[in-house]
Amino acid sequence: MSLAVEHDVSLKPFNTFGIDVRARAFVEVHDDAQACAALRHADAIGQAVLLVGGGSNLLLTRDVEALVVRMGSRGIRQLSEVQGQVVIEAEAGEPWHPFVLATLAMGLAGLENLSLIPGTVGAAPMQNIGAYGVEIKDVFHSLIALDRHTLQTREFSLADCQFGYRDSRFKREPGRWLILRVRFRLARHAPLHLDYGPVRQRLQQMDIQAPTPADVSAAICSIRREKLPDPAELGNAGSFFKNPLVPAALAESIKADHPDLVAYPQPDGQTKLAAGWLIERAGWKGFREGDAGVHRLQSLVLVNYGQATGAQLYELAQRIRADILSKFGVELEMEPNLY
């Protein structure tokens, strides 16, 4: 199969930070056959492969000496429905938020809390994306992925994916699996997840007493637009740091000095801390050095004001991590994948 492989391509349009690095080779694939052909091509010329979806979870710090494969496949279909439980399949290249809106238009609940997250369907399981009390694993059915080693397709169940907090088997085995399509278990009628205070508050402000999934989606979109910059206007990758899990004793020690600490006890006895609170309390909110900075409204978000390099953003992230460790004894972990 003929592939439209390009050479010396700027990746600025393909990462939401807007970092202008070059790819030695680049190809966009639209179906399984093209995906296989791209991997065979990389093997034939002895090149590594970097898989890219929407580029919303990627920090590029240098030119890419590899074949960049961008998933451009599209398609949404219903596979089954049993007693109001519906399995929906989407191709990996589908943009995430339009896919969420499509499921809501079909009268399905489950993805509304994950509205307005940037990226693609194929990238969502990699990171086990989550927001406002819901993660991919909560609505996941299965996925189909191509094995980079054997060029065979494999179906992954929920257990096979080994999902964790912003983590999965696919993230821990970088470059091994090319996700082709993902299936979700949604419902005609399901309890809404309204446990996060801002969601209930926004629904009240909207004068909605009996919210639908579409109402919840609209409320969350409203909240996110107020708090998070649009990557089309200001380069960013959303939340840059994970909320750290720490021993309960450490959380209590921090709380003794900072009674307003934002912390969530976990079933396993650990405590999840709000990374944004730690960064803001340490004084980094709104910090800017050149074109690399921390967003003025949301301290979890690192931003590119125009010409920042990936290396500059990474160096800023390392300074923040070192400061949080020094001040609170807490080690922050980056969410984006680093290249």
Where exactly does CATH 3.30.465.10 map onto the chain? 76-187
Distance, in Å, from the CA atom of 186 to the CA atom of 114, rounded to the nearest integer, reads 13
Average pLDDT of the chain to the nearest whole number: 94
* pLDDT at residue 70 is higher than 90: yes
Where exactly does CATH 3.30.43.10 map onto the chain? 6-71
- HSE-CB at 308 with a 13 A cutoff on CA atoms is 26
Q: Which amino acid is at 29?
A: V
Where exactly does CATH 3.90.78.10 map onto the chain? 235-338
At the top level of CATH, the class of 76-187 is alpha beta
Taking alpha carbons only, the member of 117, 336, 96, 94 closest to residue 224 is: 117
Contact 123, 132 (CB under 8 A): no
Distance, in Å, from the CA atom of 338 to the CA atom of 171, rounded to the nearest integer, reads 12
pLDDT value of residue 228:
86
* pLDDT at residue 279 is higher than 70: yes
Distance, in Å, from the CA atom of 95 to the CA atom of 53, rounded to the nearest integer, reads 9
Distance, in Å, from the CA atom of 90 to the CA atom of 76, rounded to the nearest integer, reads 4
pLDDT value of residue 322:
98
Determine the distance from the C-alpha atom of residue 145 to the mean position of all C-alpha atoms in its chain, rounded to a whole number. 18
CATH assignment of 6-71?
Answer: 3.30.43.10
Interval 11-32: pLDDT, tens: 999 999 999 999 999 999 999 9
Mean pLDDT of 45-58: 89
Q: Which amino acid is at 249?
A: A
Distance, in Å, from the CA atom of 288 to the CA atom of 268, rounded to the nearest integer, reads 38
Tokens of 62: 């240098």
The 3-class SS string of the chain reads CCCCCEEEEECHHHCCCCCCCEEEEEEEECCHHHHHHHHHHHHHHCCCEEEECCCCCEECCCCEEEEEEEECCCCEEEEEEECCEEEEEEECCCEHHHHHHHHHHCCCECCHHHCCCCCECCCHHHHCCEECCEEHHHHEEEEEEEECCCCCEEEEEHHHHCCECCECHHHHCCCCEEEEEEEEEEECCCCCCCCCHHHHHHHHHCCCCCCCHHHHHHHHHHHHHHHCCCCCCCEECCCCECCCEEEHHHHHHHHHHCCCCCEEECCCCEEEECHHHHHHHCCCCCCEECCEEECCCCCCCEEECCCCCHHHHHHHHHHHHHHHHHHHCCCCCECCEEC
Interval 123-140: pLDDT, tens: 999 989 999 989 999 999
Interval 222-265: pLDDT, tens: 999 988 888 889 999 989 999 999 999 999 999 999 999 999 99
Mean pLDDT of 71-82: 96
Candidates 3.90.78.10, 3.40.50.300, 3.40.50.10680, 3.90.180.10; CATH matching 235-338: 3.90.78.10
- In this predicted structure, which of 29-38, 56-65, 197-206 has the lowest mean pLDDT? 197-206
Confidence of residue 198 (pLDDT cuts 50, 70, 90): confident
| Residue 319 CB contacts under 8 Å (≥ 6 apart), including other chains | none
Catalytic residue ranges: 166, 239, 335
Global pTM reads 0.85
Q: What are phi and psi of 228, to 5 degrees?
A: -120, 135
Interval 177-188: pLDDT, tens: 999 999 999 999
Confidence of residue 1 (pLDDT cuts 50, 70, 90): low
